Structure 1
Amino acid sequence: MKGKIAVIVMAVLLVFYLLLAGVRAIAFVQSGEPVGIAIGVALLVLPLIGFWALAREITFGIRSERLVRQLDELGGFPSNDLPVRPSGRPYRDAADAQFPAAQAEVEAEPENWQSWLRLGLAYDASGDRKRARGAIRTAITLERTR
Structure 2
Amino acid sequence: MRAKITYFLTAAVLVVYFVLVGSRGLMLIRQGTWLTVTFGAAVLILPVIGVWFLWKNTQFVTRANQLATELEAEGGLPVDELERDQYGRILRDSADEVFARRKAETEDAPGDWRSWFRLAVAYHDARDTPRARKAMQRAIALHEGKPKPAQV
> TM-score normalised to the size of structure 1?
0.89
2:128 is matched by which residue type in structure 1? D
Aligned counterpart, 1:109: 109
1:5 is matched by which residue type in structure 2? I
1:35 is matched by which residue type in structure 2? L
Aligned counterpart, 1:15: 15
Aligned counterpart, 1:137: 137
- Contact 1:116–1:136 at 8 Å: present in 2 too? yes
Moved over 4 A (4+): 85-89
- Contact 2:106–2:112 at 8 Å: present in 1 too? yes
Q: Hey, what's the Cα distance between the residues in 2 that align with 1:87 and 1:47?
A: 40
Aligned counterpart, 1:32: 32
Aligned counterpart, 1:44: 44
* Superposed counterparts of 1:58-69, under 5 Å: 58-69=58-69
Q: Hey, what's the Cα distance between the residues in 2 that align with 1:98 and 1:62?
A: 26
Percent identity over the alignment is 37
What per-residue deviation string (whole Å, max 9, x for no partner) do you get for residues 62-117 of structure 1? 11112112112212222224333567564343222111111111111111000111
How many correspondences in the alignment? 146
Relative to structure 1, the CA distance from residue 59 to residue 135 in structure 2 (aligned partners, 3 Å threshold; closer, same or farther) is: same
Q: CA RMSD in A?
A: 1.9
What per-residue deviation string (whole Å, max 9, x for no partner) do you get for residues 25-68 of structure 1? 11111112122111111111111111111111111111111211
Q: Alignment partner of 2:110: what SS?
A: coil
> TM-score normalised to the size of structure 2?
0.85
